[in-house]
Amino acid sequence: MATPKIFESEYRFCRILWRTEPVESRELARLCQEELGWRKSTTYTVLKRLSDRGVLKNDHAVVTSLVSQEEVQVAQMDEMMEKTFGGSLPAFLAAFARRQELTQEQIDEIQKIIEG
Amino acid sequence: MEAVFLKLVDLSLAAGWLVLAVLALRLVFRKAPKWVHCLLWGLVGLRLACPASIESPLSLMPPAPAWTAVPAAPPVIQNGGAAPGTWTSPLLEETLSQTTGGGGGVSWLQVLAWVWAIGAAGMLLYALASFLLLKRRLATATRLRGNVFQSEGVDSPFVLGLFRPVIYLPYDLAPPERDYVLAHEEAHIRRRDHWWKPLGFILLSIYWFHPLIWVAYCFLCRDIEAACDEKVVRALSPEDRRGYSRALLRCTVRRFRVAACPLAFGEVGVKERVKNVMNYKKPAFWVLLLALLGVGIAAVCLLTDPPVEISPLFGVTFSPGEVIYQAENVPILPDMQSIQIQVNGVLRFSQNWSVTEIGTLEETELTRRNFDNYFPSSAGNLPAQLRGRTKRAYLRIFDHHDLGPLMYYVLEMPGSEKYLACGRWDSEGLSDPLSDDSTFYWVLRLESEESNSDIPTDSAHFAALTPGTSYVSWQCLYMSPLSSQAPFADSAFRYLVEQDAFTMVYRGSSVIGGSGESLDGRDGRTSIPVESWKYTDFPYSEEEWAGLFLIRESVIPIQALYRQIGYLQLDENHFLLSPDGALWLGTLGRNPDGSRFLWSIYSLVPEEQMGTAQWYSTPDCPRFCPGSPSPSTWTAPRSPPTVSPASWWILTGRASPGAPPCGSRPATGSIGFPGGT
């Protein structure tokens, strides 16, 4: 089974979980409030969401993970590799040019102003 | 709501000019630090937010157009008994009646006001909704440090929150870019931009109907970012500036919608901002000084309104002059005693103690249709002549309780010639000129009352109080209904103006009208010490004065009838009044709760001018009134008081000099005498 998709903020949450599991959900909410600045309700929402996705299980208010940190890291690395275009600047710029609707010409121009 | 809407239209028109001026000033001050631009937008905001404005002769704002004039408070009818007029500005009325077109009683104004309200509410709701949605998306943002959070729901960094502003960053933003971005966002917070921008958006929501306000908002967002960049860059080395610019480029996001809440890092015009950042030089001191001076001047010239031009017609009291035109069988005669146009343009007539407020005059254009056609053909070329010579014309429609709508035109000619024209007003006439039934009843020349051009401010205009003069009452102008005394013209006292006292001497119970009691029970003589025989300003407001009368119907509208009222307090119960040169004695009573009421007012004349005149009863008058001293002795006293027709009426009991004596005075003169028992 493929490793479930985990967003960055969820990854931060999972790091706390991996460190402390098995852990009571109440304790988890307290830790998240302290370390992530989350409201308690946010923690419970995320718990529900991740348990639906099969990342963790919440059994009578005791939370344990179903995926290991290594698995998630490997999956994320693959994703990064797809995204980074080998680190070449033109490709990188082209990437966000697509996003920002600036033409290559415009970007070059601005680059010139910066570096010139 | 319609009134609010009209006020907003008014404000937005003024602010529209201000926006254009600020756009021009931005060009002039493009070398100045960008926060000066923000300051200029602040002026626009101030103008939009403040319903009241200050008048200044230095103002460069164009005068407000007349069509937005909101009808003032409904006219107050003091004694005329007419129903308050319900007419708005005729022009506005005309515009609206033309466009209503049988809309079932809903005017266009109402429709527009609703459209405005819905639009404004819509924009505010949009802002609120997008704020709440964003808040929800950011719930899982994780704290980086302090008030800095990261979230995958963020494309470009921004600040959110009014009271505890939080900086949100995307996860994939890493040092050194992150440090530049943070520096920028923290500068935003220090500049309180997280307040100014929502404030601007609220104003935009209220004034959404004005395109120039949208332009202003877009430029405000731009200038806020530019000013913030400057604040950060000021402390950066050239190498850091390069890094900062790269971060800018990196974070650029095109936004098509007008963002309500977040202050995003790379929001508008990357190229321009990068240029500004790279070329930033600390502005010279004099540039700064000049820019600040410019903002100051702009504030003075653009935040204020030009003083309202007051027609020379306004603030003047006229007496009726020659009637130059009168139709046959007119139901309303030009029989007012005086015609007053107040400084604020309110037209009022006084007639037999009562004042009828016609309402605020609105400037109007005379045309053949709205003027000439209202005369019968028998009037010849008089209407055309009048219209041709009219420099300015004013109109007021007045809803008469019996006669229906009446039109009052005031015509201002070159020189000091003025006319008042009155007639029936056909409200249907404007929409259907063929059946326009409006007709003039009469036209009369307005005579400026004597000395109105240079009203003397010294006491010479008031009745002279020369020590050694003795006065007697001439008329009882008012007697409290609580009095057991009939309001005889003769108060039965002699009043002595002495060097340092005002003495009232009882002349004996045999005198007709005398109450038979002696004052204080001591030889019928009461002296009130007086330090100085100098008049002061009349201390009562119209309302306070009216409050002294027990019955509203008997209020003497003294402020409306007289231009200058001298006041001299004798003691807590007695005072002298000199309305336009006459002399009255007022007596106050005290209510159980300590408040005061007016007991009586007598008009006084020097005893020697009274001569051997008698106070006798006349069949027409429900009271005793003085026999009329021959006009020649009274109109030329030693120090001739300036007597307005109204005060002449009071003093003589006649409509005007030369009229029949008191005995045949019309019964309408009985106001002010509630009839004591």
B212 touches chain A (CB under 8 A): no
Q: How far is A1 from chain B (nearest CA, A)?
A: 25
Asked if residue A2 belongs to a domain, the reply is: no
- Interval B3-55: pLDDT, tens: 788 888 878 888 888 889 889 888 888 778 888 888 889 888 888 887 666 66
Q: How far is B23 from chain A (nearest CA, A)?
A: 26
Q: What is the mean pLDDT of residues B472-487?
A: 76
Q: What single-letter amino acid sits at B661?
A: P
- What is the span of the domain harbouring residue B127? 2-63+80-104+120-305
Pair (A15, A54) in one structural domain:
yes
Q: What single-letter amino acid sits at B166?
A: V
Residue recorded with tokens 């001739």: B640
A37 touches chain B (CB under 8 A): yes
Residue A75 has pLDDT above 90, yes or no: no
Among candidate residues B358, B352, B12, B484, the one with its CA nearest the CA of residue B205:
B12
Q: Return the DSSP state at B552.
A: G
CB within 8 Å: A113 and B275? yes
Please say which residue of B418, B448, B478 terminates a domain: B448
B156 touches chain A (CB under 8 A): no
Q: Chain A residues with CB inside 8 Å of B275's CB?
A: 113
Asked if residue A100 belongs to a domain, the reply is: yes
How far apart (Å, rounded) are the C-alpha atoms in residues B307 and B309? 6
Asked if residue A75 belongs to a domain, the reply is: no
CB within 8 Å: A110 and B274? yes
CB within 8 Å: B250 and A96? yes
Pair (B141, B25) in one structural domain:
yes
CATH number at residue A17: 1.10.10.10
A104 touches chain B (CB under 8 A): no
- Interval B172-224: pLDDT, tens: 777 777 888 888 888 889 888 889 888 999 999 988 888 898 888 888 888 88
Q: What is the mean pLDDT of residues B316-338?
A: 84
**Residue B69: its pLDDT value, please?**
37
**Best B135, B136, B137, B142 residue to mutate vs chain A (most A CBs within 10 Å):** B142
Q: Token digits for B156?
A: 């470009």
Q: How far is A36 from chain B (nearest CA, A)?
A: 4
Pair (A87, A48) in one structural domain:
no
**Best B137, B138, B140 residue to mutate vs chain A (most A CBs within 10 Å):** B140
Asked if residue B111 belongs to a domain, the reply is: no
CB within 8 Å: A113 and B274? yes
Question: Of B79-88, B124-133, B308-317, which range is least confident?
Answer: B79-88
Strand order of the β-sheet with B148-150 is B142-145, B148-150, B166-169, B158-160, B263-264
Report residue B645 CA to chain centroid gap.
Answer: 29
DSSP per position, B640-665: PPP--HHHHHHHHSSSSTTSPPGGG-
CB B341 within 8 A of CB B560: no
How far apart (Å, rounded) are the C-alpha atoms in residues B202 and B260? 9
Residues contacting residue B59 through CB under 8 Å, at least 6 positions apart: B301, B302, B304, B305, B306, B307
How far apart (Å, rounded) are the C-alpha atoms in residues A96 and A91? 9
Q: How far is B137 from chain A (nearest CA, A)?
A: 11
CB within 8 Å: B140 and A109? no
Among candidate residues B311, B414, B404, the one with its CA nearest the CA of residue B361:
B311
Pair (B269, B288) in one structural domain:
yes
CB within 8 Å: B246 and A114? yes
Pick left, alpha or beta for residue B329 (phi over 0 → left; psi -120 to 50 → alpha; otherwise beta). Answer: left
CB within 8 Å: A46 and B140? yes
Pair (B602, B546) in one structural domain:
yes
Q: State the count of interchain CB pairs (< 8 A) between A and B.
A: 63
CB within 8 Å: A37 and B151? no
Asked if residue B269 belongs to a domain, the reply is: yes
Q: Output b/e per residue, B192-220; b: 16+ Cβ within 10 A.
A: ebbebbbbbbbbbbbbbbbebbeebbebb
Residue B94 has pLDDT above 60, yes or no: no
Identify the residue with better confidence: B126 or B557: B126
Pair (A48, A90) in one structural domain:
no
How far apart (Å, rounded) are the C-alpha atoms in residues B554 and B135? 68
- What is the span of the domain harbouring residue A100? 83-115
Instruction: Give strand pairing partners of A63.
Output: A23, A58
**Residue B410: its pLDDT value, please?**
92
In chain B, % helix, strand, coil (3-state, to 5) comes to 35, 20, 40
Number of domains chain A is built from: 2
Q: How far is B147 from chain A (nearest CA, A)?
A: 9
Pair (B521, B605) in one structural domain:
yes
B150 touches chain A (CB under 8 A): yes
- Interval B372-399: pLDDT, tens: 888 888 888 888 889 988 888 999 999 8
Q: What is the mean pLDDT of residues B409-428?
A: 86
Pair (A63, A95) in one structural domain:
no
Asked if residue B372 belongs to a domain, the reply is: yes
Asked if residue B246 belongs to a domain, the reply is: yes
First to last CA, chain A: 52
CB within 8 Å: B152 and A9? yes
Asked if residue B71 belongs to a domain, the reply is: no
Q: Token digits for B61?
A: 């704002």
A84 touches chain B (CB under 8 A): no
Q: Token digits for B14?
A: 């003024």
Query: Hey, what long-range contacts does B236-240 have (CB within 8 A, 24 or more apart)?
Result: B240/B180
Q: Chain A residues with CB inside 8 Å of B154's CB?
A: none
Q: Chain B residues with CB inside 8 Å of A7's CB?
A: 140, 152
CB within 8 Å: B249 and A8? no
Report residue B305 CA to chain centroid gap.
Answer: 14
Pair (B352, B491) in one structural domain:
no
What is the phi/psi pair of residue B616, to 5°?
Answer: -135, 165
Pair (B211, B325) in one structural domain:
no
DSSP helix/strand/coil, B581: coil
CB A76 within 8 A of CB A27: no
Number of domains chain B is built from: 3
Pair (B573, B593) in one structural domain:
yes
- For chain B, the farthest-separated pair of C-alpha atoms sits apart, in whole angstroms, at 111
**pLDDT tier at B144 (50, 70, 90 boundaries)?**
confident
Pair (B633, B578) in one structural domain:
yes
Residues contacting residue B363 through CB under 8 Å, at least 6 positions apart: B66, B392, B393, B394
- Interval B437-448: pLDDT, tens: 888 999 999 887
Pair (B292, B395) in one structural domain:
no
| C-alpha dihedral, B293 to B298 to B304 to B310, nearest 10° | 100
- Interval B494-529: pLDDT, tens: 898 888 899 888 876 544 444 444 444 445 778 899
Pair (A89, A60) in one structural domain:
no
B137 touches chain A (CB under 8 A): no
Return the residue of A nearest to B279 by Cα.
Answer: A113
How far apart (Å, rounded) are the C-alpha atoms in residues B561 and B554? 14
A8 touches chain B (CB under 8 A): yes
What is the complex's ipTM, to 2 decimals?
0.72
Asked if residue A1 belongs to a domain, the reply is: no
> What proportion of chain A, given as a percentage, has pLDDT over 90?
1
**Residue B55: its pLDDT value, please?**
61
CB within 8 Å: A9 and B140? yes
Find the helix or strand (DSSP H, E) in which B253 lies.
Answer: none
Pair (B291, B429) in one structural domain:
no
Pair (A87, A62) in one structural domain:
no
Answer whether the bond into residue B331 is a cis peptide, omega within 30°. no
**Residue B510: its pLDDT value, please?**
47
Please say which residue of B305, B336, B371 terminates a domain: B305
Neighbours of B567 (CB within 10 A): 17
Pair (A87, A47) in one structural domain:
no
Q: What's chain A's Rg over C-alpha atoms?
A: 20
Q: Chain A residues with CB inside 8 Å of B143's CB?
A: 35-37
Choose from B65-79, B153-167, B512-526 the range with maximum mean pLDDT: B153-167
CB B25 within 8 A of CB B294: yes
**pLDDT tier at B353 (50, 70, 90 boundaries)?**
low
Q: Chain B residues with CB inside 8 Å of A47's CB?
A: none
CB B394 within 8 A of CB B402: no
Pair (A62, A89) in one structural domain:
no
**Residue B423: its pLDDT value, please?**
92
Pair (A98, A63) in one structural domain:
no
Asked if residue A41 belongs to a domain, the reply is: yes
Answer whether the bond into residue B157 is a cis peptide, omega within 30°. no
Q: Chain A residues with CB inside 8 Å of B139's CB?
A: 38-39, 42, 45
Q: Output b/e per residue, A16-55; b: 16+ Cβ within 10 A.
A: bbbeeeebebeebbebbeeebbbeeebbbebbeebeeeeb
Q: How far is B97 from chain A (nearest CA, A)?
A: 51
**Residue B255: its pLDDT value, please?**
40
Return the residue of B nearest to A93 by Cα.
Answer: B250
Please say which residue of B237, B272, B305 terminates a domain: B305
Query: Hey, what long-range contacts does B653-657 have (CB within 8 A, 24 or more apart)?
Result: B653/B475, B653/B621, B653/B625, B653/B626, B653/B628, B654/B628, B655/B337, B657/B631
Asked if residue B528 belongs to a domain, the reply is: yes
Q: How far is A35 from chain B (nearest CA, A)?
A: 7
CB within 8 Å: A9 and B142? yes
Identify the residue with better confidence: B569 or B337: B569
Residue A17 has pLDDT above 80, yes or no: yes
What's the mean pLDDT when you consider all of chain B?
73
Q: In chain B, positions 244-303, which contact chain A (CB-CB < 8 Å)?
A: 245-246, 249-250, 252-254, 270-271, 274-275, 278
Q: Token digits for B57?
A: 């002769």
Pair (B321, B241) in one structural domain:
no
- Interval B523-574: pLDDT, tens: 577 889 988 888 888 989 888 898 888 877 778 888 877 778 889 999 889 9
Asked if residue B69 belongs to a domain, the reply is: no
How far apart (Å, rounded) are the C-alpha atoms in residues B197 and B202? 9
B140 touches chain A (CB under 8 A): yes
Pair (B666, B577) in one structural domain:
yes
**Residue B420: its pLDDT value, please?**
93
Q: Chain B residues with CB inside 8 Å of A38's CB?
A: 139-140, 142
Residue B91 has pLDDT above 90, yes or no: no
DSSP per position, B169-196: E-TT--TTHHHHHHHHHHHHHHTTHHHH
pTM: 0.50
Residue B408 has pLDDT above 90, yes or no: yes
CA distances from B196 to B42, B214, B313 (A): 9, 15, 46
CB within 8 Å: B249 and A109? no
Asked if residue B115 belongs to a domain, the reply is: no
**Residue B106: its pLDDT value, please?**
62
Q: Considering CB atoms only, which of A9, A100, A110 is closest to B271?
A: A110
DSSP helix/strand/coil, A22: coil
Question: Of A94-103, B156-165, B581-590, B618-627, which range is least confident?
Answer: B618-627
| C-alpha dihedral, B541 to B542 to B548 to B551, nearest 10° | -170
Pair (A46, A95) in one structural domain:
no
Return the residue of A nearest to B253 by Cα.
Answer: A100
- Interval B561-613: pLDDT, tens: 777 888 999 988 999 998 877 888 999 988 888 888 998 888 887 777 665 44
Q: Token digits for A80?
A: 């990064």
**Residue B666: its pLDDT value, please?**
35
A15 touches chain B (CB under 8 A): no
Q: What is the mean pLDDT of residues B260-265?
A: 46
Q: How far is B53 from chain A (nearest CA, A)?
A: 44
